[in-house]
Amino acid sequence: MDLATEVTPSEAGTILTVDLAAIVANWQTLRVVCGDAECAAVVKADAYGLGLGPVVKALYEAGCKTFFVAHAFEGRAARAIAPDAAIFVLNGMRPNTAPLYADFNLAPVLCSVPEIEDWGQYCAVTGRRTPEGGLLPAAFRLETGLNQLGLKPYDLEHGIHLSHLFDVTLVMTQLARAEHGEAIAKQIEKFEIMRMRLPKARASIANSGAIFLEANPLYDVVRPGYALYGGNPTPGRPNPMKPVVRLESQVIQVRILEPGERVGEDQGWAARGPRRISTISAGTADGIPQSLTKTKNGAGGAAIVQGKRCPYIGGVGMDLVAVDTSDSGYIERGDIVELIGPSITIDDFAAAAGVSGYEILTRLGQRCHRRYQKL
């Protein structure tokens, strides 16, 4: 251990435990659900903050052959671990970045005519090939209703015109959230119509949530992200996925408050009777959102201390937050508390903070001691 840089568990503000076996189990569960469709894995944003390297390694060894990332630099990190996997880069291909893709055999997900022109020109001029000698890969992203990225019907002539310069291995789109069933139905219809005009290629539209939609054809490749990491892809129904992360922190100080005493910089919480509160070593810089104690209805979040739910009180600081441990068992400095884990799922935590689970996940790794072990 290099004392100068290592975050040791005993001093870490937060300890993030990531269960790689659970990620693999979730991938295998989804693979069964998806039947004949290939189950890929979305590992963008450092695998949702859990560590792209270890996550890609675990999934690759389990048989995952296709990965989706947002940026080319993420794709290069995945390539170092998965030498023969298909790696798709979702966030478009910027001007003058073609070599960053070609050097590592990354497939840009082309979403506009200028991108198709860039990639086609690069492939034609350089004559570069994949390690197997084929044309370089690419995907087409079709715009079907989100109006963010993708080709519209009037873009397709260009797409067809230039697509012989590279290998279009995938045609994809992204769906609206599950609750917008009507919009999704229209999206699928548009996708079908546009696909007919394109050269034959595998198709992909389903993310974690869409995999479980009754109406939703899975096509050839499904691309779960959030569900792999333990998030519930079926909101409102029991979570079919295994939990993947546990976030713990330590009690720094326990204090008895008299009625009327206040807590925090904003003095926003006052003890209504005698209370025992505990200050724990976690804050916004550890990925705990301020909104966790700011909910107008007073519900807010809670940590698990000695098996009891203890509400956050008094505002989340950069490094500290207090919880009301009046109803927990005996507690003292150094005790471990659960912020996310068996009793508080990632979905519970996110709901209490009023943000999406993936916003929470990607923030947890900022200043933690991260360890990979079974939960």
Site for a copy of itself in 1-40 (CB under 8 A): 3-8, 10-13
Among 19, 51, 79, 159, binds a copy of itself (CB under 8 A): 79
Beta strand 221-222 with 38-39 is: parallel
Q: Candidates 156-164, 233-241, 287-295, 323-331: pick the segment binding a copy of itself (CB under 8 A).
A: 287-295
Q: By C-beta, is 32 or 215 nearer to a copy of itself?
A: 215
Q: Which of residues 184-243 bind a copy of itself (CB under 8 A)?
A: none
228 contacts 52 by C-beta, under 8 angstroms: no
* CA distances to 122, 186, 203 from 161, in Å: 15, 27, 20
Nearer to a copy of itself, 62 or 183 (CB): 183
Q: Which of 44, 152, 200, 308 is catalytic?
A: 44
User: Which one of residues 28, 29, 46, 276 is an interface residue with a copy of itself (CB under 8 A)?
Assistant: 46
State the Cα torsion 103-106-107-112 to the nearest 10°.
-70
194 is in an annotated binding site: no
Residues between 342 and 371 that touch a copy of itself (CB under 8 A)? 354-356, 358-359, 362-363, 366-367
Which residue in the set 21, 25, 28, 91 belongs to the binding site for a copy of itself (CB under 8 A)?
Answer: 91
The strand pairing partners of 137, in sequence order, are: 167
Query: What is the spatial distance between Cα 40 and Cα 65, in angstroms, rounded to a whole number?
Result: 7
**Alpha-carbon distance values, 351 to 289, 344, 359 (Å):** 11, 11, 11
Restricting to residues 248-277, name those near a copy of itself by CB under 8 A.
Answer: 250, 252-253, 255, 257, 261-267, 277
Check binding of 328 to a copy of itself (CB under 8 A): no
Q: Which stretch binds a copy of itself (CB under 8 A): 26-34, 57-65, 132-140, 315-323?
A: 315-323
| The one-letter amino acid at 17 | T
By CB under 8 A, name the one of 61, 73, 84, 373 that touches a copy of itself.
73
DSSP 125-176: HH----TTSSPPEEEEEBPSSS-SS-B-GGGHHHHHHHGGGSEEEEEE--PP
Answer yes or no whether residue 44 interacts with a copy of itself by CB under 8 A. yes
Give the start-end residues of each E strand in the chain. Answer: 14-18, 38-39, 41-42, 66-69, 86-89, 107-110, 137-141, 167-172, 202-204, 221-222, 245-257, 262-263, 269-270, 275-280, 302-305, 308-313, 321-324, 336-340, 368-372
Dist. CA 292–CA 295, nearest whole Å: 7
Answer for which of 281, 293, 325, 345 binds a copy of itself (CB under 8 A) is 281
Number of residues that bind a copy of itself (CB under 8 A): 88
State both tokens at 235.
Answer: 């909101």
Q: Which of 35, 95, 238, 298 binds a copy of itself (CB under 8 A)?
A: 95
44 is catalytic: yes
Region of 55-63, 129-137, 141-149, 193-201 interacting with a copy of itself (CB under 8 A): 141-149
Q: Annotated binding site for substrate: which residue ranges?
A: 318
Q: Annotated binding site: which residue ranges?
A: 318
Catalytic residue positions, numbered: 44
